[in-house]
Amino acid sequence: MMKKPEILAPASNLEVLKTAVMFGADAVYIGGEMYGLRAKAKNFSKEDMQAGIDFAHEHGKKVYVTANITAHNRDLSGVENYFAELKEMKPDALIISDPGVFSIARKVCPEIDIHISTQSNNVNYLTFRFWKEQGATRVVTARELSVKEIKEIHENIPPGLEIETFVHGAMCISYSGRCLLSNYFTGRDANLGACTHPCRWKYHIVEEKRPGEYLPIEENERGTYIFNSKDLCMIEHIPELIDAGIDSFKIEGRMKTALYVAVVSRTYRQAVDDYLTDPALYQKNIPYYKDEISKCTYRQFTTGFFFGPTSHETQIYDSNTYVSEYTYLGIVEKVENGRARFSQRNKFSVGEILEIMKPDGKNIEVTVQALYDDEMMPVESCPHPKQKLWLEADAEFSVYDILRRKEDK
């Protein structure tokens, strides 16, 4: 019997963590207020982190905490204090890339599993064996590996060492995300969590002695195109990923919305479950998965390095914009007398057609019959960000339902 791979989703805050848990993720990875690689993400306070870990555990799910910065001397004492706090919170694993940080974790909280981050550039089975000998329980593959290479790693590592691989989301443009451009251009260090994503800016290369002559960007057989990658999407290749021995399917996006996390988590959950139930059912439903996965903000899709070196088709050169087919409107927080209470994320009005996205896979189209403010006074629209409102429509609402609106292309 094939092992069921874990669906591992990102979360920027407690609301998104709960969404990931309810929409099919087996585990969620989060960052605290320090020592993770998403300094611009909202990240979790100590209180919210504990609440998130408790919520996940109550639902039989796991939480992994990132501590994957490249640490400087000045960081070390703080890391030790931070891990002492995490020890009390009991996350299921720490995600670490720096050997010094790894050694602190082994000393302070040896009972917590350690996963080796993709930032460690894990591209061969000897590296995996090395980390297993140090006490790691899981290693995240570098983004530059093919399915064939991952399968070879799987066949050459000891039992009990898990393989985690990014299967969906943005792809950093430098080797496994160790980007130098952000620090160079803006002074914000990507390896300390402050990346400004200069890979998404528009560029031309000009040689100093030939001003006005714009030169193409090239790559060799071992390199990566420098600028503006498409988003990774492996929803059509679940069989190959499972056959390669990948234990955890990781979704990128710790700065993304609850809608993104819900859409991607639910779709991969359905695809994996369908394939393990009946491969023919999975093949039949591929058009449905592709349609669903596009119902959040994304860039054009690619399979990255999974089936060999990338080409010019892996990149976007004429645009750096995202595609938004649906707009995120809010999450149902409470249901009373058939009305749904939610916190507004984007404006909509009475009479508009919305879609209710449910954790069980259903999408229900409804017309907004009425809106009320928090004092139950009727309003025609909700223009104010994070305004608390009540929605009335001909539908049965549940807590954690997501409200979204299809946009005209």
Residue 183 lies in a domain: no
330 and 307 together in one domain: no
pLDDT beyond 60 at 355: yes
pLDDT beyond 90 at 218: no
Residue 157 lies in a domain: yes
- More confident call, 71 vs 26: 26
Supply the pLDDT for residue 222: 35
CATH number of the domain within which 381 lies: 2.40.30.10
Supply the pLDDT for residue 224: 38
242 and 381 together in one domain: no
Q: Which residues of 172-198 are buried (b: 16+ CB within 10 A; e: fewer)?
A: bbebbbbbebbbeeeebbbbbbbbbbb
pLDDT beyond 60 at 117: yes
137 and 258 together in one domain: yes
Supply the pLDDT for residue 325: 83
Residue 217: strand, helix, or coil: coil
Supply the pLDDT for residue 311: 54
34 and 173 together in one domain: yes
308 and 366 together in one domain: no
Non-local (6+) Cβ contacts of 88 within 8 A are: none
Number of domains in the chain: 2
Supply the pLDDT for residue 207: 60
Which among 262, 279, 314 is the end of a domain? 314
Contact 245, 156 (CB under 8 A): no
168 and 242 together in one domain: yes
Which among 265, 287, 314 is the end of a domain? 314
Question: Phi then psi for 265, rounded to 5 degrees?
Answer: -60, -50
Which among 290, 314, 338 is the end of a domain? 314
341 and 272 together in one domain: no
pLDDT beyond 80 at 314: no
53 and 162 together in one domain: yes
Q: What is the pLDDT of residues 4-24, one digit of tens each?
A: 999 999 999 999 999 999 999
Closest CA to 304 of 127, 130, 128, 118: 118
Of 87-96, 182-191, 198-207, 220-229, highest mean pLDDT: 87-96
Residue 248 lies in a domain: yes
Residue 187 lies in a domain: no
387 and 272 together in one domain: no
Supply the pLDDT for residue 395: 94
Residue 212 lies in a domain: no
Supply the pLDDT for residue 177: 54
Supply the pLDDT for residue 298: 65
Residue 196 lies in a domain: no
Candidate from 46-60, 112-126, 175-189 with smallest mean pLDDT: 175-189
- More confident call, 335 vs 212: 335
Q: Which two tokens stand for residue 222?
A: 């071992």
291 and 331 together in one domain: no
* DSSP code, position 380: S
Q: Provide Rg for the chain, Cα atoms.
A: 22
Residue 198 lies in a domain: no
Supply the pLDDT for residue 270: 97
User: How confident is the model over 28-33, as a mean pLDDT?
Assistant: 89
Q: What is the pLDDT of residues 374-388, one digit of tens each?
A: 999 999 999 999 999
pLDDT beyond 60 at 220: no
The average confidence (pLDDT) of the chain is: 86
Candidate from 173-182, 281-290, 364-373 with smallest mean pLDDT: 173-182
- Domain residue limits at 148: 6-177+225-314
- More confident call, 177 vs 380: 380
Residue 300 lies in a domain: yes
Say how far apart CA 162 and CA 300 lie, in whole Å: 30
pLDDT beyond 50 at 120: yes
Q: What is the pLDDT of residues 225-280, one digit of tens each?
A: 344 457 899 999 999 999 999 999 999 987 888 999 999 999 999 999 999 999 99
385 and 298 together in one domain: no
Residue 81: strand, helix, or coil: helix
Q: Per-residue confidence at 143, pLDDT binned at 50, 70, 90? A: confident
The reported pTM is 0.85
400 and 303 together in one domain: no
